[in-house]
């Protein structure tokens, strides 16, 4: 340290540096423990299993619409959509029903056929666990 600074200031700077270093190690230790306990908080691995039937039923270059029963704009809706888009890549996933194929990604049991009909869709495959592959009624 420069001799131009009083000992009190030099000691405060050294103490701040040591506390910062300690905080860094404490943070990384806590984060490592957290990651060991919660490996997949958004359940992406579970989504890969749920959506495996969609992957096998659609070509890699498919573009699918997307509907759900989860309130749009919320965190859960975003997590579900982004997780599905990630798992189904390279297929493209679009919000809405403009495409011939539409993925229904539902969080609870319902009358999926009636939901589809209300959007002009028919069930192509019910893959279980709230995953429905729809086709447009006038589609191929």
The pLDDT tens digits of the residues spanning 47-97 come to: 888 899 999 999 999 999 999 999 988 888 998 999 999 999 999 999 999
Contact 122, 116 (CB under 8 A): yes
Longest C-alpha distance within the chain, in Å?
84
By DSSP bridging, strand 131-136 and strand 101-105 are antiparallel
> Is the N-terminal amide bond of 90 cis, ω within 30° of 0?
yes
Predicted TM-score (pTM) of this structure = 0.68
Tokens of 101: 């194929």
């Amino acid at each position: 340290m420069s001799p131009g600074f009083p000992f009190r200031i030099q000691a405060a700077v050294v103490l701040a540096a040591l506390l910062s270093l300690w905080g860094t190690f404490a943070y990384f230790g806590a984060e490592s423990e957290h990651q060991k306990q919660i490996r997949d908080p958004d359940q992406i691995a579970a989504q890969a299993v749920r959506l495996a039937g969609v992957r096998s039923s659609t070509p890699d270059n498919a573009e699918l619409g997307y509907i759900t029963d989860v309130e749009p704009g919320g965190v859960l809706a975003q997590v579900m959509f982004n997780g599905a888009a990630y798992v189904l890549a390279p297929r493209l996933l679009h919000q809405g029903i403009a495409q011939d194929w539409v993925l229904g990604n539902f969080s609870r049991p319902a009358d999926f056929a009636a939901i589809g009909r209300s959007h002009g869709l028919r069930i192509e495959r019910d893959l279980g666990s709230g995953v429905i592959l729809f086709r447009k009624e006038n589609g191929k």
